[in-house]
Amino acid sequence: MADQNTMLRDSVTLRPAEKAELFDKLLSSLYKPDAQIDELWAREAESRLDASEQDKIKAVTLEQVLSKYK
């Protein structure tokens, strides 16, 4: 395998579209699907939707959330 400095030097000479494609492939290679985590997130989403439909939780706008951090 070529060393990282060589790969970086070679990649900076790419056209913008080629850089974007390379970046997308590198980023995609970091994601490894995990069925257990996907199932947990699906259950969490259903739980939150049910709570919202039953008025157990209140939705707030993005502006309201961000105003806390100004």
Taking only the tens place, the pLDDT of each residue in 21-66 is: 999 999 999 988 899 999 999 999 999 999 999 999 988 999 999 9
Domain with 22, as residue range(s), is: 1-31
Q: Please tell me whether residues 38 and 24 are part of one structural domain.
A: no
Q: Looking at residue 2, what is its pLDDT?
A: 73
List C-alpha distances in Å: 56 to 14, 17, 24, 59: 53, 47, 40, 10
* Domains identified in the chain, total number: 2
Distance CA 18, CA 48 (A): 41
pTM over 0.85: no
List C-alpha distances in Å: 17 to 20, 22, 33, 35: 5, 9, 27, 33
Region 12-29: what's the mean pLDDT?
A: 94
Q: Looking at residue 31, what is its pLDDT?
A: 85
Q: Please say whether the beta carbons of 20 and 28 come within 8 A.
A: no
Q: Please tell me whether residues 13 and 36 are part of one structural domain.
A: no
- Other C-beta atoms closer than 10 Å to the C-beta of 16 total 7
